[in-house]
Amino acid sequence: MSKPGTSVDGQPGSARLVWDLIGPSNEDLNQIWFWNASMPPTVERCIHDLVSERSISTPDKVAVQAWDGEFTYRELESLSNTIARQLRAQAGVRVGDIVMLVFEKSRWTTPALLGVLKSGAAFVLTDPAQPEARLKTIASQTGAKAVVCSKLQADLARRIAQDGDEECSRQDKKQKQKQKQKPAVVLVASDDTTLQHAGWKVGGASAGFLPVVPADSAMYVIFTSGSTGVPRGVVCSHANFVSGAIPRREAVGYGETSRVFEFASYAFDVSIDCMLCTLMQGGTVCVPSEAGRVDNLGAAILASGANMAHMTPSVARVLEDPETVMRSLDVLGLGGEAVSAGDAAAWSRLTKVVIAYGPSECTVGCTINHEVCADNTTIGKGTGAVTWIVHPDDHNRLMPVGSVGELLIEGPVVGLGYLGQPDKTAEVFVRDPIWLRQGHTGSKGRRGLLYKTGDLVKYDANGYIVFVGRKDQQVKLRGQRIELSEIEYHLRKNLPPCVKIAAEVVRPSGAEPTLVVFVDEQQPVVNGTKTKTKKVKNDKVGLDDVVKLSPELGAIVADMDGLLGEELPRYMVPAAYIPLQSMPVLASAKIDRKRLKALGASMTREQIAKLRLLAPKPARPLSDLERSLASLWARVLGTDVEIGLRDSFFGIGGDSLRAMKLVSAARGEGIALTVAQVFDNHTLVDMAAVAVVDGDLGSSEPQNIAPFSLIEKTWTPEEARRAASKYCNVKESAVEDVYPCTPLQEGLMALSAKFPDSYVAQRVLRLADMTEARRLQGAFETAARESAILRTRIIQVPGHGLQQVVVQGPIEWRSGATVEAYLEADRDEPMDLGKPLVRYGLVRSADQVDFVLTMHHALYDGWAMPLVIDRVNRAYDGLATERPAEFKHFIRFLSEVDQGACEAYWRQQLEGATAVQFPALPHEGYMTQADSLLEMTVPAPPRSSGSATTTATIVRGAWALVAATFAGHDDVVFGETLTGRRTPVAGADVR
C-alpha cells in the first residue's frame, strides 16, 4: 500500500472501511440486491380521502380526544369539509397553494389540518413556541396563502401574516411576485364550528364542491434547520406519505383500537404521523395540553388512556414512574436518537418497542425495527423504501456488507425536494446511480430518485441497518474521532435514570477543544426523595444556568473518571461536568446541542477547570522540579487537570508528538530531558528523577558543524564541491555543504526512481490577491535562506554513493495557465537526482491566485512540515524566527553510532528466529506497488491514567498477532518507520 494507515480511535460498534478501488464482492452484491430488488409500490391516494372513508365506516367513534374536548369521526369530517370550503371561498385557496397552521396542542388542530388538505393546499404545521422571527421566515418562504390559527394564537398569526410579506420582499423578490397579497388570517374558533376572517361576512360557504386533489401534489412542507441558519422547507406529496404510511401501520402496529398519544411538537413531522396514521386506521388521537406534555408527561399519558406513544429515548429515560407508564402502552415508538442496548433490554420487557428512522426528506419513518431487544437496536429495514449503502464520498460506489457508508433511500417515500432550493435539492436528491442502472445477476437495473441522508450506517448479516453517526458531523478531539453516544452510554450506566446528560466537545474561550458533559438532574435526589421535575428550558442558555450538583450526584460524578477509565480510552473520558438548571431542547424534544456548544464556547478554561471533579485526589508534586514538570505537562496537554506524582504522561493524553513538545518546553525552562527519557520514565515522579535542571539550557544552541566535515576522509572538500556542482548543474560557489544521506532517504529516492510520483506531496493554497502572493513569496525566500533542508538536493557520486547537497541561491518560481494544468505538469516532472526537491509555483488567473508547494518526502516528515510552515508564517508576519536545527547534526549522530553494537543487538534479539515472509511475495526481489488505499477505524482499548502503553505499541502488538495468525508462525518480524526524534540530537525533537 502506498499510504498504509490504521487509525485507532473511539468509533464505536463498527470499523469504517474506505475503499479506493476495492468494492463489494459478488457475494455482497448478491445479498444487497436480494434485499433491495423489489421496489415498494407507489400508492396514488390522498390521506384525507382515507380518513374520510373511516368517517363513513365508523362515524360515531371518537377520532380526537383532547384536553379541550373531543371529536367523533362524523364531526371531524363535517368540520374539515366546512374549513376546506371556507378556505376556498373566503381566502381563495387553490390546489398547489400552501397554508400555514399555528396551533397550540388542541382538538382543533386536526380538523384544520384536514380542511387544508381537502381545499387542495399543502399545510405547514408549526409550533407557536418557536421564535416568532422563524415563523415569519417560514411564512415568507412558503408564500403562504393563509394562516389558520386557534383563538389563542390569533394575535401571533396576524403578526406573522403582516410581517411575513415584508420579510419576503427583503429576502426574495421572486417569492414576492408569487405572493401578491398578505396571507389571510383564518381563525378556527374554539366555541363553535365557525371560521372568522377580519372584515368578512361569514356564511354561504357550506355549499360547493371540493376539488379532486392529485396524489402527486404537495401534501405538507416541514421545516428543518438549514446550514446557512435559514430554515429549509422539505416538500412531501400525498403519494409520498401514503406509500410509506400503509406499510408503516403494520410495522408499528397502528390499528382500530390504537389510542396514540400526541407528544411530539407540531414543528416535528412525527406529530403528523401520529395524527394521520392513527386516523387512517380508525384509531383515536389523544392530545395533551402543553403543560401536561412538558411538565408531567407520564401522568398525561396515563390520564389519556393512550396505548401507543412516540418519543425520543432521552424523553423516555426521564418519565416519572416509567415502569407503570410503559406497561400501560401496547407500543413505545422511539426515534430521533440512538437507542442503547440497556434501554432496549429494560423497556422491551415492559412493552413492545419499535425503533423508527426517517429523515424529513423521506416522510416520517422509512426504516422500522419492530423486533427491538438488547441484541437488536438497529434502525431496522426499509419500510415503503429500499436502502442502499454507498461510499461516503461517492454515491456511485456501493459498499460491501458490513462496511460503513452513507445511507441512500430509494422508493415512493422520497420527497419532492427543498422548497425554492433547486441547487440544494440536486445535491442530495440524486438520480440513476451507475450501480442502480446496471443491476446485478438476476436483478434488472432500473432508474430512480434516491435521497442521500448524510448518515453513516452499515448492514448487519440479516440486512438490518446499524446507525453509526453523521457523515458531516464527526466529532474529533486531538486527532481522535469520538462517538459521543458511546460516552453517553457508559455515563448512563453509572448515573441515576433521572439524570439527563449530553457529552460534547466544546472550545472554551482561548483554549483547545475539550470534552465535557452537560448534566441536568431533572429530578434531583434529596435525602432519597425525587423533587418535582423542572420545566424544560427552550430559550438562551448562559452562564447563569450553570448550577451546583446535588451532594448525592456530586459523589457519583467524583468517581466517574475511574469508572469510565475502565471501559473507555483516556481521550474519551470527559474533562469536566457542567451542571445546568435544565437541558436546552429543540421542538422535536431532542437536545439542542448547538446551544450547549455555544455555552461551552462562552466559558473560559479556568471556569471549566473549576468544574473538574477527580477521585481519588492525586498525590501532589512536592519538589520544585516536580511542580515545574507538572506545569509543563498541563501546558503541553492543554489540560487543567490536577496532576499527581503517580500519573502517567501517556495515561492522561500524552503521545509521541506531545512527548517531543514536552522536551522542547522543558528545554525552554532550563530542564534537560529527552524523548527517550519521557517514554522510559512516564510517571511524574520518575520523570523528575531523571530530568536535570540546567539554567543555561534554554538559551543554548547546537554546536556548529563545519561545512564538508561529514564527508568521507578520503574525499576532499574541493572534490566534493566539484562533484556537487557537476551533478546539480550549479556553480561551485553555490555549493554550501555536502554530507551523506540517511538510509531512509536512500530508500525513498530509489523508490522515486522506480515510481516517479511516489513520496512527492503537492499542496495548494488559494490567495486573496497578488499583494498577498508577493508577501508569501518573500516569506518563503526568508525561510529557505534560514533552512538548509529547503535548499537540499540529493546526488549520486561514483565511489561515494548518495550525498546531500545544500545549494545557495534564490527560489525558482514557476507558473502555469491554470492550477489543474500546473499540477499535472508538475506531477509529470520527476524529482530526479541533482534536481531541487522543493518546487514553488504561483498560478495567476483572472479572478484568483494559487500557491503550489511540491516537496519530496526525503526532506520532511509529519513533524517537520508544521515547523516549516510555522517558520514561513512568522516570516510572513515580519516576526523573528529561531535558528532551525540543521539536519547534518542528525547525520553526524548516525555516523557515530556503533554499527557493530547495533548488529550484535539484533543478532541477539533474532537468535533462533525462523520467521517467514508475510505477506508472501511472488519471487525474491519483487517490488510491490499499491493501487488502492484501505483505511480501517477500530475502537482503541481503554487505558488507565497510570498506563505507560502508547497507542503505537498497541498497534504494533495487534499487527504482530495478525501477521502470526496469517503466516501460521509464532516468530514475526516486520519493519517500521519511526520519526527518529528520540535520538540525543540537539533540536531533533523541537526543530
What does the pLDDT look like over 346-380, one tens digit per residue?
Answer: 899 999 999 999 999 999 999 999 999 888 999 99
- Which conformational region is residue 377 in: left (phi greater than 0), alpha (psi within -120 to 50 degrees), or beta? alpha
Q: Given pLDDT bands bounded at 50, 70 and 90, which one contains residue 22?
A: very low
Fold of 624-685: 1.10.1200
pLDDT digits 0-9 by tens, 609-644: 667 543 345 567 778 898 899 999 888 887 776 788
Is 70 exceeded by the pLDDT of residue 180?
Answer: no
Q: Please check whether residue 596 is in contact with residue 518, taking contact to mean a CB–CB distance below 8 angstroms.
A: yes
- Mean pLDDT on 78-84: 94
Q: Please check whether residue 692 is in contact with residue 666, taking contact to mean a CB–CB distance below 8 angstroms.
A: no
Is 50 exceeded by the pLDDT of residue 526?
Answer: no
The CATH number assigned to the domain with range 47-348 reads: 3.40.50.12780
Q: Given pLDDT bands bounded at 50, 70 and 90, which one contains residue 768?
A: confident
Predicted TM-score (pTM) of the model is: 0.54
Sign of the CA dihedral with 776 first, then 779, 785, and 788 last: negative
Q: Please check whether residue 721 is in contact with residue 735, taking contact to mean a CB–CB distance below 8 angstroms.
A: yes
If we measure between CA atoms, which residue out of 327, 397, 479 comes closest to residue 32? 397
Question: Hey, what's the cell of 651?
Answer: 495515561
Confidence (pLDDT) at 882: 67
Q: Given pLDDT bands bounded at 50, 70 and 90, which one contains residue 204?
A: very low
Confidence (pLDDT) at 911: 81
Is 50 exceeded by the pLDDT of residue 553?
Answer: yes
Confidence (pLDDT) at 176: 44
pLDDT digits 0-9 by tens, 212-227: 999 999 999 998 765 4
Is 50 exceeded by the pLDDT of residue 524?
Answer: no
Distances (CA, A) of 572 to 9, 65, 188, 487: 9, 47, 53, 7
Confidence (pLDDT) at 10: 32
- Mean pLDDT on 327-355: 91
Is 50 exceeded by the pLDDT of residue 692?
Answer: yes
Backbone Cα Rg of the chain: 34
Q: Please check whether residue 193 is in contact with residue 169, taking contact to mean a CB–CB distance below 8 angstroms.
A: no
Question: Hey, what's the cell of 724?
Answer: 556537487
Alpha helices by DSSP H, 109-196: 109-118, 132-142, 154-171, 173-178
Confidence (pLDDT) at 698: 45
Q: Given pLDDT bands bounded at 50, 70 and 90, which one contains residue 983?
A: low
Domain residue extents for the chain: 47-348, 475-610, 624-685, 717-894
Confidence (pLDDT) at 497: 79
pLDDT digits 0-9 by tens, 477-519: 654 556 677 688 778 888 887 888 999 888 887 666 788 999 9
Distance CA 738, CA 805 (A): 5
Q: Given pLDDT bands bounded at 50, 70 and 90, which one contains residue 672?
A: confident
* Separation of CA 949 from chain center: 28
Q: Which residue has the higher pLDDT, 699 or 335?
A: 335
Q: Please check whether residue 21 is in contact with residue 931, taking contact to mean a CB–CB distance below 8 angstroms.
A: yes
Distance CA 305, CA 143 (A): 40
- Mean pLDDT on 681-708: 75
If we measure between CA atoms, which residue out of 63, 87, 91, 90 comes closest to residue 77? 63
Distance CA 356, CA 435 (A): 27
Of 29-43, 228-242, 926-940, 942-956, which range is least confident? 942-956
Q: Given pLDDT bands bounded at 50, 70 and 90, which one contains residue 312?
A: confident
Of 449-458, 465-474, 787-796, which range is least confident? 465-474
Write down the mean pLDDT value for the chain.
Answer: 82
Q: Please check whether residue 832 is in contact with residue 750, taking contact to mean a CB–CB distance below 8 angstroms.
A: no
Sign of the CA dihedral with 923 first, then 928, 931, and 937 last: positive
Domains 47-348 and 717-894 share a fold: no
Is 70 exceeded by the pLDDT of residue 14?
Answer: no
| Top CATH class, 717-894 | alpha beta
Q: Given pLDDT bands bounded at 50, 70 and 90, which one contains residue 252?
A: very high
Confidence (pLDDT) at 20: 32
- Mean pLDDT on 180-187: 75
Confidence (pLDDT) at 964: 84
Angle between helices 656-668 and 624-637 (to 10 degrees): 130
Amino acid at 500: K
Distance CA 410, CA 459 (A): 16
800: exposed, middle or buried (Cβ count in 10 Å: 0-12, 13-18, 19+): middle
Confidence (pLDDT) at 527: 41
Is 60 exceeded by the pLDDT of residue 7?
Answer: no
Q: Please check whether residue 815 is in contact with residue 773, taking contact to mean a CB–CB distance below 8 angstroms.
A: no
HEC states along 439-496?
CECCECCCCCEEEEEEEEEEECCCCCEEEEEECCCCEEECCEEECHHHHHHHHHHHCC
Distance CA 544, CA 581 (A): 9
The CATH number assigned to the domain with range 475-610 reads: 3.30.300.30
481: exposed, middle or buried (Cβ count in 10 Å: 0-12, 13-18, 19+): middle
